[in-house]
Amino acid sequence: MNKIISKLIDTHSLSVEEYESLLNNITDEEKEVLRQEAVKLAISVYGKKIFARGLIEFSNYCKNNCYYCGIRSGNKNCDRYRLTKEEIYECCNIGYELGYRTFVLQSGEDLYFTDDIMVEIISHIRNKFPDCAITISIGEKEKDTYKKYFDAGANRYLLRHETANKEHYEKIHPKEMSYEHRMKCLQDLRDIGYQVGAGFMVECPYQTNLDIAHDLKFIEEFKPEMCGIGPFIPHKDTIFKNEKAGSFDKTLLLLSIVRIIRPNVLLPATTALGTINPLGREKGVEHGANVVMPNLSPTEVRSKYLLYDNKICTGDEAAECKNCMSQRMKKIGYDLVIDRGDCILKY
Ligand code: 5AD
Ligand code: FES
């Protein structure tokens, strides 16, 4: 077998140069070797179980202007909404009844949700659902803010690093945003004690295989509990509207590689993957993913939380999404389980 591939499988680690060479030279047969290894590892850690996270997209207001994102502040065509506290709690009630034991509260960086309001929301959910994990995904904050959320009962935080190369970071974000601050946020979250999710888009504009090699090295060294990887998909109201979407095959390959680097990682088969291919989430699982994130947001607002074009599942009720996902997983021999689905620290 190719020396780099056996090294990756045996040691869960490569140098940046080796990751780059792997991405540049890999053959279809080698991709299949990695896929099988990734699936074997996922099953050895988590069994044939897929964790479902109930995703609540509670506001699409955002103060940032990331060049790739459909809800960026500069997009004047975006129809903005914000759920009330009561609406958020109602999503949790519906989700709990459906069997979700993790709620992911996601929004743009919306200044309306001050520390006090967020703490009130998190505490309320924590008291009402002591057996559930609360995941927050609302962007970059200062450490004391992250600490307040944590003390109120949040367990996990998703903040994709987006790219582990500063120069690349600066090509896809406006100058008000900084690579250093994003990385500091991830470190602060880790230091506070969160289970942390990092991640990146595949074939986002200007991304090279060397950039991805740095992303993989970052995942290897930072050791996030979760890792969100999905294809870049253009959005019609962004400057990247004419760029092409990331490749399906490459996203699948990267899921397999990340599973091998971190056998215990919680790895979602993302909605973006399901958007570029009708069987995207199934294929994601068959390449090492073990998490799906069906939508719990009220149907009325679904079609407003559009980070990219043609997003799937924007018309379905929460229960429909859950059933659809559960059937999809059954078909490929996996079970969608009712479980908090914490990261198992086996390696
Ligand atoms: N295509 C794919 N993913 C996107 N995200 C934002 N915009 C897009 C897009 N156009 C991802 C980012 C962000 C996460 C919430 O969604 O990686 O961190
Ligand atoms: Fe909202 Fe990037 S546009 S975080």
- 220, part of any domain: yes
Assess if residue 342 is contained within a domain.
no
- What pLDDT is stored for residue 237 in this prediction? 97
pLDDT score recorded for residue 346: 56
Q: Is residue 346 part of a domain?
A: no
Please count the CA atoms within 13 angstroms of the CA of 308 that sit on its side-chain side: 23
Predicted pLDDT of residue 316: 86
For ligand 1, which residues put their CB under 6 angstroms from it? Answer: 68-69, 160, 162, 201, 230, 232-233, 235, 272, 307-308
Q: For 224-274, how does the pLDDT look when each residue is reduced to its tens digit (9 = 90+)?
A: 999 999 999 999 999 999 999 999 999 999 999 999 999 999 999 999 999
CATH at residue 86: 3.20.20.70
**Would you say residue 183 lies in a domain?**
yes
- What is the pTM assigned to this prediction? 0.97
Whether residue 214 is contained in a domain is answered as: yes
Residue 272 in any domain: the answer is: yes
Domain that holds residue 10: 3-337
Domain count for the chain: 1
On whether residue 34 sits in a domain, the answer given is yes
| Tens-place pLDDT, residues 163-215 | 999 999 999 999 999 999 999 999 999 999 999 999 999 999 999 999 999 99
Verify whether ligand 2 is closer than 6 Å to residue 71 (CB atom). Answer: yes
Please name which of 43, 18, 91, 52 lies closest in space to residue 301, comparing C-alpha atoms: 91
The CA 339 to ligand 1 mean position distance, Å, reads: 26
Q: What is the pLDDT of residues 303-328, one digit of tens each?
A: 999 999 999 999 889 999 999 999 99
345 pLDDT tier (thresholds 50, 70, 90): confident
pLDDT digits 0-9 by tens, 48-102: 999 999 999 999 999 999 999 999 999 999 999 999 999 999 999 999 999 999 9
For residue 99, CA distances in Å to 172, 207, 337 come to 38, 39, 8
Inform me whether the pLDDT recorded for 332 exceeds 60.
Answer: yes
Q: Which residues contact 126 (CB under 8 A, 6 or more apart)?
A: 134, 152, 153, 154
Beta-carbon count within 10 A of 86 CB: 9
pLDDT digits (tens, 9 = 90+) for 106-158: 999 999 999 999 999 999 999 999 999 999 999 999 999 999 999 999 999 99
Residue 347 has pLDDT above 80, yes or no: no
Q: Whose CA is nearest to atom 2 of ligand 2?
A: 66
| Residue 344 placed within a domain | no
